[in-house]
Amino acid sequence: MVDSQYFLPNDIGISALDCTEAFRLLSPREKLYAHYLSRSAWYGGLAVLLQTSPESASIFVLLQRLFRKQPAAQLESMATAAGLSPEEYQAFLVYAAGLYANMGNYKSFGDTKFIPNLPQEKLKALVWQSQAFQDSPSEMEALWDSCSTLLFSLEDQQKQLGLGDKGVTTYFSGNCCLEDAELAQKFLDSKNLSAYNTRLFKNKSEGKASYEVRLASAVQKGERNTGYFSVNFSNAFSFLKSPVSDCVFTVSRGDYAYLMKKVSENLEKAKDHAANENQKRMLEEYAQSFTFGSIEAHKEGSRFWIKDKGPIVESYIGFIESYRDPFGSRGEFEGFVAVVNKAMSERFAKLVSSAEVLLPELPWPKDFEKDRFLLPDFTSLDVLTFAGSGIPAGINIPNYDDIRQSEGFKNVSLGNVLAVAYATQKDKLTFLDEEDKDMYIKWKGPSFEVQVGLHELLGHGSGKLFVQDEKGTFNFEQDNVRNPETGEQITTWYKGNETWDSKFSTISCSYEECRAECVGLYLCLNKHVLSIFGHEDEDAEEVVYINWLNMVRAGLLGLEFFTPESKSWRQAHMQARFVILRVLLEAGEGLVTLKESIGKDGRPDALITLDRSKVHTVGKAAIERFLCKLQVIKSTADVEGGRALYEGYSAVSDTGSHNFLHLRETVLLRKEARKMFVQANTRVKGHVELVEYEGSAAGLIRSFTERFADDAEEVEAHLLELNKRDASCWSLKSV
C-alpha cells in the first residue's frame, strides 16, 4: 500500500479565483498592460517545471498533448475503453490538475512528491487510447517512456525535494552536496554575484572539481557588456573563472533561454501600455535582467517598482522566493498580475501610517531597528495571474536586503485568494474542541487578515542588519551597540557582500517566517491595530484568541511537513509555526495544552487548547522573549547562535513532554489536502477578453491547455529540448 500522503484525494478542494469585477473596471489600456504582463508571467512560470524535478517538464508536455486533443469530458470515453473506473479517471484528472497547480510533481507547500492514484498500466492504456496517441504514436510513446518511471516512482530519495541523498533537486546537478553549495556561495560572494537566478552544475576537469554557475537569460553567447557586469562576455560558457579551494568556477548564461526570451518580449509589449515613467523604466530593467541574466538589472527594476506608488494594476516578476532551494539562496520563478481592491487597501494604508508608532512596541532596542522606516505601499489585490508553484496569501518584496534596508519595499495582501483559500467546513476541522470550532469558523478570516497584514508589513518590514561594507564603513555605532541578551558589545555582523540568505542559508527562510509570525502574534494584542481592521471590544478579543489558537493548531499541523528519515523540514512556514508551538508549550502555566486521544471513529486523535485568559500575560511574555532573541541573532549575523536556537526548537522527537513523532502519525492520518486554484486567461480579440473557467479539475486543466493555445507546439518542443539538455546531470552521484 502506498502512503496516502503521496496521492491527491479525489475530493480535493478546487476553487476559481474570481477577478471578474476587478478586471471589468480596468480601462482598455490597463487591460492590455495586464494582458502582456500575464503572458510574460505564464511563460516564465514554465521554468518552474525545470526547477522542480527531472521529469516535471516531460509530464507537463504529455498532459498538454493529451488534453489539447481531447478535453477532459471527451477523454473520459477513452478512459472507459482503457478499463479505468470513474474513480480512477477522476484520480487522473486530479493528478493532472495538481501538476499544473504546483508546476511540477512535487507539492509547492511541503515539497512532497505526488503520483497518480491509479495503476501505471491503466494510465498507459489511457494514453494509448487517446487521440493524441492515434495521431502521433511514436512521439507519444517516446514521451511516455521518458517520464513514466519517475512519474510513479516513490524511491526514498524521490519522495521529497532535497540536496544529495536527502531528496531531489534540479537547482544542483546530482553529484552536488551541501559542501558544494557552500563552496559555490563563497565564490558568488567573492564576485559580488547573486545566486537568485542561478543553478549549479559540477564536473571533473583534470582531476579537479569544475563548477558551472548558470544564469537564467535569453542570451546564450557573448554579446555586449550590459553595464551590469564588470567583465566582458567572451564566449557562451566561460566569461568568469576563479580558482576557489583548488577548483574552477565558470559562470555561463542561457538557462531557460527560450522562456526568458518570451518573458522579455512580453514585458516590452506591456511597456507600450504602461501608466507612467516608473512602470516603463521598471519593465525595461526587468527585460534587461531576463535577457542578460543580470540580478543588478532586476534590482534596478525593483527600485522603480517601489517608486510606482498605488498603481491600479500591480505586478512583480522574477526569481523571487528561495524556499525550494535546499541551500536557501536560489529563487524560484514567479510572476503575478493583480488589480487593487480599494476598500480593503484603505485598512492596510491605515496600518502603514501607524507603522512608526507600532515599531517601537517591538521587543528589541532601537539600535536593532532600521534607522528610518520607509513607508511602503500596502495594498489588497485581486489576483488575475499568479504563475509559479503556488499562490501565497500575502507578499513582502523585494527580497534584496540592501534595497529593503535603505530604499524600501511593498506589501500586498491577495484578497481573492484569502476569500477562498481558508474557508473551512466544521466537519473537516481537526484537533479543536466543538466550542472552539464554531468560533474558529466565524473568526478565522478576520483574524488571518490581521495576521497577514502584521506579518508582511511589520514582520518582514522590521529589524536592522548590522553591516560593515567593502570600504570598512559600519552602518551602526560599533563601540556603543550592546547585545540585550548579554549586555556585552556585539562582535559579529555582515561583511562586504554577505546577505541574510547567504549567511543563514538552509535556515534563513523558515527563521525569517518565524520572526514575522511572532511579530504578528505580538502586535495583534495591540488595541489600536485591531481597531484599524474594524475590531473593537469583545470582537477584538475573539480575533486575538482565534489568531493565537490558529497559530498553535498550525504548529501541530506542521508535523505533516517533517521527514523523520532525514530529520528535515519541507515547508518553511509550517516549520516556523511548529517552533512557535514549542515556545508557547514551553511557557507553561497552562497557556497551551496538547493531548493525544482516541476519536469518535476509533482512530488516534489529538486536542489542542489555548487558555485565552493567559494570552496577554504568559503568551505575550513568551513571544516577547523569543522574538527579541530572533532579532538580535539576525541583526548580528550570529549564524552559530541562530542555528542552535532554531534547530533546537525545530527538533521533532518521541521524548520529552510530548511525543511529536507519534503526533505526526495522527496529523498525517487526519490531514486535509491544500486547495488548488483555477485562474482566468486573457486574450486579445480587438479588445482584451477575460476567459474564466469552472472551479474543478477539468476547469483547471482546460485553463492550461488554452493558456498557450497560439504557440503550444513550439512551447512544448522547447520545454522538451531544455529538459533534455541537462537530463544526464541529475543521475550523477556525489563525489
Q: What is the CATH number of the domain that holds 211?
A: 3.30.70.2600
User: Which of the two residues, 419 and 488, has the higher pLDDT score?
Assistant: 488
Under 8 Å CB-to-CB from 34, ≥6 apart: which residues?
23, 26, 313, 315, 337, 339, 384, 385, 682, 688
How far apart are the C-alpha atoms of 172 and 163, rounded to whole Å? 8
Q: What are the Cα distances from residue 224, in Å, to 232, 296, 391, 464, 490?
A: 7, 16, 37, 38, 45
The boundaries of the domain holding residue 510 are 431-652
pLDDT of 735 higher than 60 = no
The Cα–Cα gap between 690 and 706 comes to 12
Residue 126 falls inside a structural domain: no
Average pLDDT over residues 497-502: 91
273 is in an annotated binding site: no
384 falls within a domain:
no
The answer to whether 123 touches 170, Cβ cutoff 8 Å, is no
Mean confidence (pLDDT) of the chain: 93
Does 138 map to a domain? Answer: no
For residue 159, give the DSSP letter.
G
Between strands 676-678 and 604-610, the pairing is unpaired
Tell me: is residue 662 an annotated ligand-binding position.
Answer: no
Residue type, 510: S
- 392-411 tens-digit pLDDT: 988 989 999 889 888 988 98
The 10 Å CB-count burial string (b at 16+, else e) for 670-708 is bebbbbbbbbbbbeeeeebebebbebbbbbbbbbbbbbb
Q: Is 449 annotated as a binding residue?
A: no
Band of residue 617 on the pLDDT scale cut at 50, 70, 90: very high
Choose one of 258, 279, 311: the last residue of a domain: 258
The Cα 378–Cα 353 span in angstroms is: 10
**Number of structural domains the chain divides into:** 2
**How would you class 636 by CB atoms within 10 Å of its CB: exposed for 0-12, middle for 13-18, buried for 19 or more?**
buried
Write down the pTM of the prediction: 0.85
Grid coordinates standing for 680? Answer: 482566468
Residue 192 lies in a domain: yes
Residues belonging to the active site: 456
Whether residue 608 is contained in a domain is answered as: yes
Residue 591 or residue 419, greater confidence: 591
Indicate the range of 80-94, 183-197, 238-252 predicted with least confidence.
Answer: 238-252
Residues 6+ apart with CB under 8 A from 684: 32, 35
Pick the last residue of a domain from 623, 652, 681. 652
Pick from 526, 532, 514, 519: nearest CA to 352: 532
CB 373 within 8 A of CB 356: yes
Q: Would you say 698 and 73 are in contact if contact means Cβ atoms under 8 Å apart?
A: yes
In a domain, 25, yes or no: no
Q: pLDDT at position 585, please?
A: 98
As a whole number, mean pLDDT of residues 33-52 equals 98
Give the rounded distance of the alpha carbon of 260 from its chain centre.
20
Is residue 128 classed exposed, middle or buried when 0-12, 13-18 and 19+ CB atoms within 10 A define those classes? middle
Question: What confidence category does residue 2 fall into, taking pLDDT thresholds of 50, 70 and 90?
Answer: low
Per-residue pLDDT of 523-574, as tens digits, reads 999 999 999 999 999 999 999 999 999 999 999 999 999 999 889 999 999 9
Q: Does residue 264 belong to any structural domain of this protein?
A: no
Domain boundary (652, 679, 713) is at 652
